[in-house]
Structure 1
C-alpha cells in the first residue's frame, strides 16, 4: 500500500477537488494525509459564531469532520494565513501564503513527506485551477517540496477539465444546473457561466484543456455521495459550498463525478483509470 499526501490551499478545497480519489484511496487501504496550507481565516463566518467566535477553530473542526467521512488518516496545517482573492488587501499580509517564501513553505511540506515516507504528493495545476493566489502558491510549493523530500514522491496535480465544463453548457444538465442556482438566489445564464470558465479569479481560463490532462478518475455513485457528504461538513462556506450543494444529485454527479490530474514531466494523454499503485 502507498502513502498519498494531498496539499490543499484552504479547508473545503479538498471536498470539491480530490475528495473522490481520497475516499477511493482510503477504501483501497492506502494511507491518506491531507495538508492545508492556510487556515481559511478569510472564509465566511457562520452567524452562530458572532463577531468574536473563532472562525479558524470552526473551520478546522469542519475539516476534521470531512476527513472522517472520507477516511483520511491524518491532517496537517502549514499555518499560513488565507491570502484572499486576487487583488484583495489581504494579498499583502506578510504572513499569508501568497507572500510566503516558496522554499520555506516547501520545506514545511517536505518534512511531512519525509515523516510519512510519502509515495505520492498531489498539488494543483500551474494556474491553481482558477487563479486564486493561494492555489497558485500551492502549485509552486508542491513542485518544490517534491524536489526537497528525501524520497522524491511522484507528483500529481489536481485540475478540472475545461473542455468538459464548456461542453456541459450545451447539455440538458446545464438548464437544470442554472435552475438549481436560481433557486438558491444566484441568477445566471449560460453565457455568464461560460465567461466565468474562460476568466477565472485572475482573468485566465479555469482548469486545463483535456489535451493537457493525464488522468480522469470516474467516481462510483456511492463515492459521489460520500463526496457530497464530506462537502456538507464545510457548510459554513455558503457561497461556494452552498452553491455546489444546491445542485440536484443528478446534476451534482455530472459536475463532480470525475476528478482530473495532471502529471508533470509525463506526456499528457488523458487516461481513464487509477494512478495510485
Structure 2
C-alpha cells in the first residue's frame, strides 16, 4: 500500500510551528511521511533579539527551520527558493524574486511538480486570509489551492484533501488583544466552519521547542517575547493544546462532520486519526 503522505505548504520559516507543529508530529508518529514546503527563507524578517547581528538572515532562518523540523520529527524542509517579501519598512517592492512580485501561476507550477513527485494524499496551507493577512501567505494560499485543483488528473489521483489552517474567533480575539489588529469576525471562523480540531497537547513540548528553534523570531522584541507571564500562559494554552482546520477541497465524500482526523474517509488510511 502507498505510504500515507502529508504535504504542508507555507511561506516562511516559523509558519509551520505556530499553526500546525503539533499536527505534523502527531501524524509523523503514526508513520505518515510528513513533508514541509517553504516558499522563502525569511530573509526579510525582523530580528527580535536585542543586539543580535546576523550576516545572512536567510541562511540563519533556513537552519532554524531545519532544526524545527528535526524537533517536530518530520523530514527536512523543501524550499521553493523565492524571497521573503517583508513587511512595513522591510517590504521588498523592487525584488522580482520576492513572493509578492511572483505570478501565482508560476508558484503553482512548482507546487504541481512537487505534488507529482511526492504524491501526497493530504495538503495543508493557509486559510483565505493568510492567517493575519501577510501578502506572502496570501500568495501561497492562492497557489496551493490552484495546485490542489489542477492535480486531480495525475495518475495517482492527486491529493484527496486540502485543508486550511483555521483561526477560531476566540483565538483571533486573543491575538488582537496581544497587538495584532485582527477583526475576529473577519480573520476568525465560527465553530461550525471547523472540519477538525485536533488535540495536540501530547506534543506541546515538541511544538514549544520548534517555536524556540526559530530564535531570531522569538526573542524579547517578538510578539511572544513582549507578553506578560499571564498572557503567555493563556496563549500557550490555546496554541499548544489544539490545532484547527477547515476544508478547502475534497475528492472524496465526507462520511461524517466534523472529521476525526485529516485522513478520515480516505480509502486505505482508515487507521489514521
Q: Distance in 1 between matches of 2:78 and 2:186?
A: 30
1:258 is aligned to 2:242:
yes
Counterpart of 2:53 (choices 47, 50, 54) is: 50
The aligned runs of 1:195-206 (5 Å cut-off) are 196-198=181-183, 205-206=186-187
Any gaps of 5 or more consecutive residues in structure 1? 170-189
TM-score between both structures, scaled by the size of structure 1: 0.79
The superposition leaves residues 174-199 of structure 1 with CA deviations (integer Å, 9 ceiling, x where unpaired) of xxxxxxxxxxxxxxxx9855982317
Aligned length: 249
Give 1:74 shift. 3.3
Root-mean-square deviation (Å): 3.0
Give the 3-state SS of the residue equivalent to 2:86 in structure 1: coil
Q: Distance in 2 between matches of 1:240 and 1:270?
A: 35
TM-score between both structures, scaled by the size of structure 2: 0.80
Give 1:248 shift. 4.9
Q: Distance in 1 between matches of 2:196 and 2:127?
A: 13
Q: Distance in 1 between matches of 2:23 and 2:105?
A: 28
Distance 1:244 1:21, change over 3 A: farther
Distance 1:214 1:6, change over 3 A: same
Distance 1:275 1:89, change over 3 A: closer
Tell me which residue corresponds to 2:68: 66
Tell me which residue corresponds to 1:152: 158
Give 1:50 shift. 3.0
Give 1:261 shift. 1.0
Distance 1:240 1:13, change over 3 A: farther
Tell me which residue corresponds to 1:85: 87
Q: Distance in 2 between matches of 1:70 and 1:144?
A: 28
Any gaps of 5 or more consecutive residues in structure 2? 264-268
Alignment check: 8 A CA contact 1:231 1:241 kept? no
Q: Distance in 2 between matches of 1:26 and 1:40?
A: 25
The structure carrying a bigger helix percent of its residues is 1
